[in-house]
Amino acid sequence: MAVDRRKLIVEAATKSFSLFGFKATTMEQVAKIANVGKGTIYTFFKTKEELFDEIVNCLIKEMKFAAEESIDESKSFQENVHRALYRILEFRLEHQLTIKLFQEGREMRTPAVMEVIERIEKAVLNFIKDKIELAIEKDEIQPCEPELTAFVMIKMYIALIFDWEKNHQPLTKEMIAKTLEQHIFQGLSK
């Protein structure tokens, strides 16, 4: 084959979804960008959602890779959780597609987008959960419900990065690390 039409389509769709979001992207436009007949898209993907899902799956893989890359086995569990979560949220802010998606989810609540956001969040949860399970096995942290702990950590991170700055000065990376350290790891008890 001269050109990989499937790849062309996926690339075109990624570009369009990143630029205009899911709802505002039309299949005709994707076809045009990909230099392909509209019908051709449907030989590879049953629906617009299926095309979207493939792209998001790819995004999730990239995200996992970025997170995994940020981990340094020689560092402590705490340090690594901080690095991974910070990297993941950084990723969200660096990639046009995630920015657009979360925006569309917030502003229009497009069902397909809401679903996909949930998938992304589940993937992050599972990633952190795995790290926690490992840390428990290696006796680096107290035993706990890994899923619940991962959930708490992520919520806290999101809150510190995205919610706090709605009413306050944004926190620096160091402040966030310190807050996580002080609250989750060290606790406040005397």
Partner DNA sequence: GAATGACCAATTTAGACTTTTGGTCAAAAG
Partner DNA sequence: CTTTTGACCAAAAGTCTAAATTGGTCATTC
The verdict on 172 binding a copy of itself (CB under 8 A) reads no
Among a copy of itself, DNA, none, what does residue 89 contact (CB within 5–8 Å per kind)? Answer: none
Q: Which residues, other chains included, contact 170 with Cβ-Cβ below 8 Å and sequence gap of 6+?
A: 164
The verdict on 13 binding DNA (CB under 7 A) reads no
The verdict on 160 binding a copy of itself (CB under 8 A) reads yes
Residues 115-144 within binding reach of a copy of itself (CB under 8 A) = 122, 139-142, 144
Q: Select 106 or 173, whichever has its Cβ closest to DNA.
A: 106
Residues 122-135 as b or e (16 or more Cβ within 10 Å = b): ebbbebbbebbeeb
The verdict on 162 binding a copy of itself (CB under 8 A) reads no
The verdict on 10 binding DNA (CB under 7 A) reads no
Q: Select 45 or 127, whichever has its Cβ closest to DNA.
A: 45
The verdict on 149 binding a copy of itself (CB under 8 A) reads yes
Residues 47-76 within binding reach of a copy of itself (CB under 8 A) = none
Contact 87, 70 (CB under 8 A): yes
The three-state secondary structure class of 162 is: helix
What are the tokens at 172? 């620096």
Contact 5, 40 (CB under 8 A): yes
CA distance 190 to 184: 15
Q: Select 66 or 108, whichever has its Cβ closest to a copy of itself.
A: 108
What are the tokens at 69? 């890359």
Burial of 166 (0-12, 13-18, 19+ CB in 10 A): exposed
Residues 21-80 within binding reach of DNA (CB under 7 A) = 25-28, 31, 36-40, 42-43, 46-49
Interface contacts to DNA, rule CB under 7 A: 1, 5, 25-28, 31, 36-40, 42-43, 46-49
